Amino acid sequence: MGSGINRRDWLKLIGGSAVGLMLSPIPWKVLDESAKWTQNWNWTPVPPKGRVNYRLTTCTLCPQACGVRVRCVENQPVGLSGIPGHPLNNGKLCAIGLGGHLMSYHPSRIAGPVTIDAKTRVPAPIPLEDAISRISGHVLAASGVAVLDMQPGRSISYIYKEFLAGLKHGTYTFPNQTDGINAGPVNRTTTSRFKSYGIDIDRTRTIISFRTPLLDGWGTLAQSAEIGRRNKKGSKAPTKVYQVESVSSRSAGLADEWIPVRPGTEAIFALGLAHVILEENLFDRTIKGGSENLWGERSLSELAGKYPLSRVSTITGVPDDKIAVLARELANNRPTAVIFGGDPVGGPFGDAEEIIFADLNILLGAIGPNGTIVPRPDLPSPGDHRQPRVDGIQLSEVPDHSIEVLLIDGADSGTTIPWQLVSRKLVPVNPRIVSLSYLPAGVACHADYVIPSPAYMEMYSDMPTPAGFSRASYNVSVPLMEPPASAIEPLEFLKRLAISTGSPNKASICSITMRELIRNRIAKIFELHEGEVFDADAGETKSIGSMASSRELVRILERGGCWTGNARSRVAGLTYKFLGNSDYQHVFSAMEKLADISGSASDIRLLPHGTRGAGSSGVNHPMMSKIYQESNLRLPSDVASISPSTGKMNGLSDGKPVRVKTDFGQTILKARFDQSIMDGVVQVQVGEETGTTARRESLQGSNTLDICRIESDSTWKTTSVQLSPL
Amino acid sequence: MDRNLISRKLDRAPLPRFVAWLVPWTLLLLIGLYAIYLCLAKGLNQTNMNNRFAFGLWIFLDLSVIALGAGAFFTGFLLYILKKHELRAVINSAVVLGLICYSGAVLVLMVDVGQPLRAWFTFWHPNVHSMLTEVTFCITCYLTVLAIEYVPIVLRNRRLKEVPSFLVFEFELHKVMPVFAGIGTFLSFFHQGSLGGLYGVLQGRPFAFREGIAIWPSTFFLFIISAAAAGPSFILLTTWLVSKISRKSLVKDEVIRLLARISGSILVFYVMLKCIDTLLWMNATAPSFGLTAMSFFAWKPFSIWILLGEIVAFGFLPALILFFGSRRLGKGWLVFSSILVCCGILLNRFVMTIQTLALPTLPFDKFTLYTPSWQEVAAFLFVVAYGVILYSLSFRYFNLFPHEPDLRNGKNQNGELVIQK
Amino acid sequence: MENNIGTTEPAVENENASHKSESSGARKARYGMVIDVDSCTGCGACMVGCAIENNVPPAARGADERTGITPIRVYKADNGRPFPESNSVYFPISCQQCEHHTPCVSVCPQNAVEVDPQTGIVGQIPVRCLGCRYCMTACPYHARYFNWWDPTWPAGMEKTLNPDVSPRMRGVVEKCNFCFHRLQAAREKAAAAGKTEIDPGDYIPACAESCPTSAITFGDLLDEESAVAKLAKSKNSFRLLESLGTQPKVYYHSEREWVRKLAESGIAEGEFGNG
């Protein structure tokens, strides 16, 4: 070994290096970096990388047609916001709209055509060809075929009408309108003949709402934001809101005053207001000349005379002095509007009731030269006029037991309705129900076949005028994502069906794509040469007249733009027919019936309520769990809210199960005591279900609406229930 | 069978009986191990803790065992620094208990945190303002100290003693034991206090918040003093329990009475301070938040009786018994009082951890209840089983009680030889 | 303990009044919010918008209102009167961005939370978080949320994650950070245009952007011309739990006296509830 490096030297070297290393950043950096392995687990997803761009479209999840700005990464939508300046939503979206791009990934999304086992309700895949041939067979053999369009007025709606015209007994139908102002009662009580009406919010100073969720979801987002803004204290153009309803709703809580009436007695209350207005001569002066049935026999005043304040007070539960004060407020703080859209899930008002509300509007001048209820023209139809089409009728007008094959379109974006309303139109033996939807949502849950359509943002669609908006409007929704291969556009399905059934209209139906159809409609709108267009890209509005051709309109509308028609002049020069002229007897007896039904104080009434569109369907994007599951903000649909005294009187305990039984069925819910709710009432939210983000293995369609009593006029206002602890 | 592992001077149960004793605890250990595995593998959703109740059974367990395990540092302090030689009779047992308590606490803490692999971040990015940093550092150091203090106990095992290097090592270690005891006391002082400080600094929780001296809230000092009071009681209690279970006399009476007197005198001091602190809190601190103290107790089932119980039934009463009766009263009274003291400490920690979180802080909060899930309870019982097993093994194979051989050899509790007739 | 009941001045009166920071030319800011609870309809759009923007996973199976993650959460409170005098209010609560003695900052053993001196935003570093949850016990506003589960998204939905925000993993605490990534994007945009100050209109958190009634006003409280600063100084603006002295930068505004009174009490009438 000799001189040279010995063991001690080696030790010195190693020791010295160790100390030196400690003084260098190396070991500390290594230690720090090693922490990364606790930070990146391979099952935590990595967000997408890439080029960010923005695209524009329209939301189709409910009829309000908000403009949507979509932030995309390599053309994959990652975030949504409203389009600023858009006439319908002015830069905002609702909670459901904000997650619209997530609907495509819902765990319960139906992957391909399926048949549903009648008993277990479990879907089983079926090849598309088989599905079409089976359904065609049913259609050809059927005595009556119908299409239930949950979102009527779209371009596809007209193609359904064409297809049905080629059948022996084809019916096109849609749910009775619950939103906005129904044209029927307005046209029956005036000489107006417009097809639809809206509310000019900008001019109203006082609003009385009968069950309309005015401050929490009514109308377009721009309209409800406007009302909210003007309803605040200290607002420059204040608008007062009175909410008349039985449900302790958010609108009731936010309104200037909540007038809690007994369930089903809203129209009686309106009659009480009319009584005061007539007696004290507070009605609008323009109706003096040329109105029928205001005074004398078989008139509104005779009817109102049967309901003096004391009687109205007994029936509705509102003190008579309050009714008088309110009536004077409404009359003296005009422009006033009576809005009676009804809660979307709480159901529409009956015919007779709507006539009373329309009459009240007339008395207050809301329909008239200075009024706030304004007419809107219908949108032109797409396609060639020469093709025969059936007319559409409301669901309530369809004869009972007449439909053997029912095609349902748009169940996932249409407000859910009680299945009874549909089922009683079906033949009792082996009706066949086909749903064109991509989620087991709403009425689609009762289907025998589901042919999955593309989701929102995966196909061309158009949105007609939203209910309640003051002018006609039109929007287009464009595809931003690829639908799954197994999704079939409803139009494509219809084409295959037309061919397979040998429809006489098949050539016409097969000749067009959705995109062409919509462009065709846009061209027709252009030809009206009226109105203006909001260009979302440029952020400005221009008149139709300034455009060279319809191609420009197409370009703008396919990029989140919005066409709005001219504001119509008020319905001036009208004459009025109070009580709808020939409806006199009908209205009289309907009011008597309502007065009776309001019943004894010990009756308990079921009050379902909920949001419109996809919000009521029970299946929403998974992020809605923030509201329904991860907080107490909104109640899921298995909770029955009651006042503590009603609960205790029936032996119930807060938080424990309760059996809710009606003459039409029963359901087990969880009781929830809430002292803001009136006695004798059970409030149930219809919509999101508990655990909704989980995948559903079967299509169970039942909800609280199934146990409601459906009246002959297709309303479901007052269902008596019995409550008992489990 | 294992007779040659057991000290010649001691009687121990035959091996089969010992194994039979260990079996149920081992079972409990295994169940607890499974629960711990579930929590580590699946996440803390296995517990019933939630965003409102972020600390639950385990934190209560941590605070409680550390308070009880204070017997280790305090006995060491009394023995090595204050030279109370009688306590040599229990110091080994105290060290083992301390080791069990602290290692159990650290184990449960590792399951309680969401990312146990990041435990070293506290050392790498310490926050000097946080009480929890202090707790982490001190507990880690103190656990090391306890492990070092445990080594001589192990090395004095009959077989291990025969290895010369172990003997020498143990001898050298024993010489520096006072240093370790001193370090241990210093560390313990701080972390016992910091555990109290954990809650005392929470200005967002007016129920727990206390004013204090400099950065240390009053709970800092109260926790130290209560731990010092509880330690000797816990030693007393466990000694009595082990003695009962093993059916042997383990320590002379005078040791028990000394422990009782020490515990009693500190407890008297503690109760006085606690009363002053409570009054200050009720009349000054809580009103400075705009709250009345009684408003905290309006929530059933946490009424004012808990506070009264903690101070009077579990504080004042045993303090009197232990302080005045340590010489005169029978051992039964002393054991009973020790139980009260330990319960008082547990109640105090419970109030600080659980009641603090149960109370709402926002006006639209509700009072929250929490019951632990079976996984939490199983993990808790894991620590108990682990403690019993480790203690049992230590008791069997190591000489935990130096008085035991004398007492076995016929000397009575006073150390006098008694001739069997 | 300072008693700050009734103080409505912005939180920054006690702070260093200099508006210039030494390190860069950018002005020091104190970002805050005023939420008009008279306009809040309880629709929950802010909750959903925030969760989508910040890559918060949808509820795990078994998650409920105490184990979910909602960086902004809307609470309903009422005036305590029974029908028909009941009236309710909705309070969106996010991290209140406490300026003074920030409870969570002082207690984190790993320094995983800090108040950014430049912006006043209380930032959370999830990758340093140990998951000890001490900050959660310290926070009186319950603004912090723990990842009790491994975050999972339904198959395919991970494609919709926001590229500007990293998803957190199980076992760490998260909370609102005023969409700090949007501030960074605004700064990049300003830098690309050669400016030192961001355009205030470029930085708005997702909740304020989503609110359909525009109840949330956001901005720099130090900028006296801004809407948020003016609104914060208004007579009927208040903060939650003022008496705790945390000096939050989130203000609320209501014309209703019972609502303002509600904000002060930390503990309501005694009542047994299971939360």
What 3-state DSSP class applies to B33? helix
pLDDT at residue number C19: 40
Residue with tokens 């207001």: A273
Residue where a domain stops, chosen among A529, A546, A580: A580
Neighbours of chain C (3+ CB pairs under 8 A): A, B
Q: What is the DSSP string of A111-153?
A: -S-EEE-TTT--EEE--HHHHHHHHHHHHHH-S-EEEEESSTT
Percent of all residues in chain A with a pLDDT value above 70, rounded to a whole number = 95
Q: Is the Cβ pair C210, A93 closer than 8 Å? A: yes
| Highest-pLDDT range among B152-161, B320-329, C178-187 | C178-187
Residue range C193-210: mean pLDDT, rounded: 94
pLDDT at residue number C24: 47
pLDDT at residue number B105: 94
Residue with tokens 């069925």: A665
| pLDDT category of residue A457 using cuts at 50, 70 and 90 | very high
Q: Phi and psi at residue B216, in whole multiples of 5°?
A: -100, 115
Q: Is the Cβ pair B202, C137 closer than 8 Å? A: yes
| pLDDT category of residue C2 using cuts at 50, 70 and 90 | very low
Per-residue pLDDT at C275 exceeds 70 = no
How many Å lie between the alpha carbon of A55 and the closest alpha carbon of chain C?
A: 15
Residue range B235-248: mean pLDDT, rounded: 91
Chain C contact for B300, CB < 8 A?
yes
How many Å lie between the alpha carbon of B72 and the closest alpha carbon of chain C?
A: 26
Residue with tokens 């909740």: C207
Q: Has residue C271 been placed in a domain? A: no
Among A residues 663-692, those touching chain C with beta carbons less than 8 Å apart: 675-679, 691
Q: How many CB atoms lie within 10 A of CB B169?
A: 14
Residue A284's domain comprises 183-377+573-580
User: How far apart (Å, rounded) are the C-alpha atoms in residues B30 and B43?
Assistant: 19
Q: Has residue A83 been placed in a domain? A: no
Is the pLDDT higher at C112 or at B163? C112
Output DSSP code: residue A426: B
Chain C contact for B39, CB < 8 A?
no
Q: How many CB atoms lie within 10 A of CB A146?
A: 28
Cβ atoms of residues A246 and A603 within 8 Å? no
Q: Has residue A719 been placed in a domain? A: yes
- Of the partner residues A47, A105, A224, the one whose CB lies closest to the CB of residue C154: A105
pLDDT at residue number B415: 58
pLDDT at residue number C22: 39
| Highest-pLDDT range among B6-10, B210-214, C229-233 | C229-233
Percent of all residues in chain B with a pLDDT value above 90, rounded to a whole number = 43
A639-642 and A681-685 as β-strands: parallel, antiparallel, unpaired?
Answer: antiparallel
Q: Is the Cβ pair B362, C109 closer than 8 Å? A: no
Per-residue pLDDT at C7 exceeds 80 = no
Q: Encode pLDDT of B90-142 as tens digits.
A: 999 999 999 999 999 999 999 999 888 888 889 888 998 899 999 999 999 99
Q: What is the DSSP string of B53-79?
A: --S-HHHHHHHHHHHHTHHHHHHHIII
Percent of all residues in chain C with a pLDDT value above 70, rounded to a whole number = 87
pLDDT at residue number C69: 96
Angle in degrees, 0-180, between the axes of helices B253-280 and B331-350, rounded to the nearest 10: 30
Q: Has residue C214 been placed in a domain? A: yes
Per-residue pLDDT at B2 exceeds 60 = yes
Cβ atoms of residues B252 and B415 within 8 Å? yes
C229 to each of A147, C121, C232, C234, how far by Cα in Å?
56, 16, 5, 9
Per-residue pLDDT at A103 exceeds 90 = yes
A637 to each of A469, A531, A612, A685, B348, how far by Cα in Å?
29, 42, 15, 5, 43
Average pLDDT score, chain B: 88
| pLDDT category of residue A237 using cuts at 50, 70 and 90 | confident
Average pLDDT score, chain A: 89
Q: Encode pLDDT of B395-412 as tens digits.
A: 999 888 888 888 877 666
Chain B contact for C268, CB < 8 A?
yes
| pLDDT category of residue C3 using cuts at 50, 70 and 90 | very low
Residue where a domain stops, chosen among A549, A580, A611: A580
Q: Has residue C270 been placed in a domain? A: no
| Cβ pairs B/C, distance under 8 A | 212
pLDDT at residue number C11: 39
Residue with tokens 């305990």: A653
**Nearest C-alpha in A relative to B125:** A32
Cβ atoms of residues A671 and A656 within 8 Å? yes
| pLDDT category of residue A227 using cuts at 50, 70 and 90 | confident
Residue of A423, A414, A461 lying closest to A441 (CA atoms): A414
Per-residue pLDDT at C269 exceeds 80 = no
B198: which residues sit within 8 A by CB, 6+ positions away? Answer: B131, B132, B135, C134
Helix (H) or strand (E) holding A435: strand A432-436
- Of the partner residues A76, A253, A675, the one whose CB lies closest to the CB of residue C160: A76
pLDDT at residue number B412: 61
pLDDT at residue number C242: 86
| pLDDT category of residue C219 using cuts at 50, 70 and 90 | very high
Domains in chain C, number: 1
pLDDT at residue number A2: 53
| pLDDT category of residue B292 using cuts at 50, 70 and 90 | confident
How many Å lie between the alpha carbon of B341 and the closest alpha carbon of chain A?
A: 40
Per-residue pLDDT at C23 exceeds 80 = no
Per-residue pLDDT at A188 exceeds 90 = no
Q: Has residue A199 been placed in a domain? A: yes
pLDDT at residue number A3: 67
pLDDT at residue number A599: 60
A466: which residues sit within 8 A by CB, 6+ positions away? Answer: A63, A64, A65, A88, A179, A180, A219, A220, A473
Q: Has residue C273 been placed in a domain? A: no
Per-residue pLDDT at C20 exceeds 90 = no
Lowest average pLDDT, out of A460-464, A675-679, B302-306, goes to B302-306
Lowest average pLDDT, out of A8-17, B244-253, C259-268, goes to C259-268
pLDDT at residue number A598: 65
Chain A contact for B118, CB < 8 A?
yes
pLDDT at residue number C8: 38
A381: which residues sit within 8 A by CB, 6+ positions away? Answer: A158, A521, A524
Classified by CATH at the fold level, domain B57-365 comes out as: Formate dehydrogenase/DMSO reductase fold (1.20.1630)
User: How far apart (Å, rounded) are the C-alpha atoms in residues A283 and A276?
Assistant: 10
pLDDT at residue number C122: 96
How many Å lie between the alpha carbon of B117 and the closest alpha carbon of chain C?
A: 8
Per-residue pLDDT at C1 exceeds 60 = no
pLDDT at residue number C17: 36
User: How far apart (Å, rounded) are the C-alpha atoms in residues A167 and A145?
Assistant: 8
Residue C135's domain comprises 11-264
Residue range A491-508: mean pLDDT, rounded: 93
ipTM reported for the complex, 2 dp: 0.91
Residues in chain A with CB shorter than 8 Å from the CB of C55 are 47
Q: Has residue A624 been placed in a domain? A: yes
Cβ atoms of residues A445 and A699 within 8 Å? yes
User: How far apart (Å, rounded) are the C-alpha atoms in residues A685 and A669?
Assistant: 11
Per-residue pLDDT at A437 exceeds 90 = yes
Residue range B362-383: mean pLDDT, rounded: 89
A502: which residues sit within 8 A by CB, 6+ positions away? Answer: none
| pLDDT category of residue B419 using cuts at 50, 70 and 90 | low
Strand partners, B216: B213
Q: Has residue C5 been placed in a domain? A: no
User: How far apart (Å, rounded) are the C-alpha atoms in residues A94 and C44?
Assistant: 8
How many Å lie between the alpha carbon of C12 and the closest alpha carbon of chain B?
A: 20
Q: Has residue C274 been placed in a domain? A: no
B24: which residues sit within 8 A by CB, 6+ positions away? Answer: none
Percent helix, percent strand, percent coil in chain A, to nearest 5? 35, 20, 45
Q: Which of C213, C237, C256 is the mutation pick for testing A, counting most A CBs within 10 A?
A: C213
CATH of the domain at C115: 3.30.70.20
pLDDT at residue number C82: 86
Per-residue pLDDT at A595 exceeds 90 = no
Residue of C54, C9, C33 lying closest to C97 (CA atoms): C33
| pLDDT category of residue A148 using cuts at 50, 70 and 90 | very high
Domains in chain A, number: 3
B28: which residues sit within 8 A by CB, 6+ positions away? Answer: B381, B382, B384, B385
Average pLDDT score, chain C: 85
Pair of tokens at residue C88? 């309710």
Per-residue pLDDT at B43 exceeds 80 = yes
pLDDT at residue number B413: 59
Per-residue pLDDT at B420 exceeds 80 = no
A616 to each of A214, A445, A619, B321, how far by Cα in Å?
17, 13, 8, 69
Helix (H) or strand (E) holding A683: strand A681-685
